[in-house]
Structure 1
């Protein structure tokens, strides 16, 4: 069958259009594939760059840690000045205890604070416990930052933090049950006699006051912990005898609790020594000369 020139021209035009369409689609597909490849390569480069930056930061951090571990620290103040040159007055000013009291605390807490390694000899154990007690007492007496205490004793601030917490926990477990207790009848009479000679007020067996300890309040009920100064705390109430020795501590009330409520909640028979009448009237007043509260027992002792 012979085609006319016109039909041949039409068929040729159709083939040309189909070929052009195929070539155009292939070109578009190829361009899209190249674009996506460029995006993938760009993303890979970004990830690689980010990983390189992370690795660089990690390496720098490790270098800093290594430098901090190798940092030179001075033990001279404790080893050569405190232990060899300090007078009794210096001990009281820096640690709030005398040298004999310091040694007493070391001896009482030696078993709890000593290192766990078995290869240490007794001399090294005593030296280690002495330094732990000194660090904790210095921090509690001066209220310095851990960093400052660490520089003073030649140790890291994290070590100071661990020592202070260990000392407090051990002290509460070992010392409080032994030395903070309600006086007996004879002790109460002796305390009252001393107070009367000093203040000319009869039947005083303790001076009481409170302080606020900063805490992080819980989410629920956090307003109860906000004290009158506007920050969160719990109240520590202490009672001391005529020689400034604690014989009772109460630390359970949130910071917003009134002083009278703290006293009422902690004094329900707890402050009454053996031999004091149960019908005794318990009151308190501000003794302006010493700026403290005093417990007055008006009924006297049996």
Structure 2
């Protein structure tokens, strides 16, 4: 009997004290740590609540809001997971599971397409063009495009393909923004060594334009790393004084959105 009691005591879990960051911090402090205020975190949690809600109340489960906050903390700061352990009183294994679970939930197509959608109808396109015209006085533009390198841990397979021109491992992510800094299209599957122009050339975005899914008279703006096309405007490499120089100036000012 005594031996059974000792085994039971050894099996009993000891839980760390968890901090209630939502009551401990005001909105300014939450934004500083998580890049969102309380209402923003709750809004994100509501999007994926069904996917993040624990099915039982055993083992002190984390709420969807806490899971979102842990993930935001990790993504917003770029720090190691230890910072989340200190903030939330959870183990590193739990932190890893929470981050993976939350990102997977937010990456589901039914969630992504609520916020990331390229304009295809004449009405949608017109709205984007009017925003660029109003803010930058550049006609016909629906989006600005560029690649951005997201640093990753060196993979075990085809490691050399992920080394970019700055000599670190990355994914080269193609992104298109509208005039209001909203993402219209994102492609995040190419190794860091792949050039921006090739990513575009093999993307569904190119197909949308060249197969006439996007209405005529719509343009993307890209830097000189892209080829100039009927639907993709790039700067003059050696502009002449006057019209070409003025065009390059307007192009650069508008492209800064991305």
- Normalized against structure 1, the TM-score is what? 0.62
Residue 33 of structure 2 corresponds to 94
- Normalized against structure 2, the TM-score is what? 0.71
Is 1:245 aligned to 2:185, yes or no? no
Residue 233 of structure 2 corresponds to 283
CA RMSD, 1 decimal: 3.0
Which of 45, 52, 57 matches 1:113? Answer: 52
- Greater RCO between the two (CA within 8 Å, min separation 6)? 2
Classify 1:181/1:222 alpha carbon distance in 2 versus 1 (closer, same or farther; 3 Å).
same
Residue 75 of structure 1 corresponds to 19
Residue 130 of structure 1 corresponds to 65
Aligned length, in residue pairs: 216
Higher helix share: 1
Alpha-carbon distance between aligned partners in 2 of 1:273 and 1:95, rounded to the nearest angstrom: 38
Deviation at 1:179, TM superposition (A): 2.4
- The CA deviation string for residues 144-175 of structure 1, in whole angstroms up to 9 with x for no partner, is 11111110122122211111111111111141
Structure 2 residue ranges without an equivalent (≥5): 1-9, 219-228, 236-247
Alpha-carbon distance between aligned partners in 1 of 2:178 and 2:42, rounded to the nearest angstrom: 23
Classify 1:90/1:208 alpha carbon distance in 2 versus 1 (closer, same or farther; 3 Å).
farther
Alpha-carbon distance between aligned partners in 1 of 2:257 and 2:22, rounded to the nearest angstrom: 41
Structure 1 residue ranges without an equivalent (≥5): 1-65, 295-302
Deviation at 1:189, TM superposition (A): 1.1
Aligned partners of 1:91 and 1:99 also within 8 Å = yes
Aligned partners of 2:34 and 2:72 also within 8 Å = yes
- The CA deviation string for residues 36-84 of structure 1, in whole angstroms up to 9 with x for no partner, is xxxxxxxxxxxxxxxxxxxxxxxxxxxxxx8xx74744414x14323xx
Matched residue of 2:36: which SS? coil
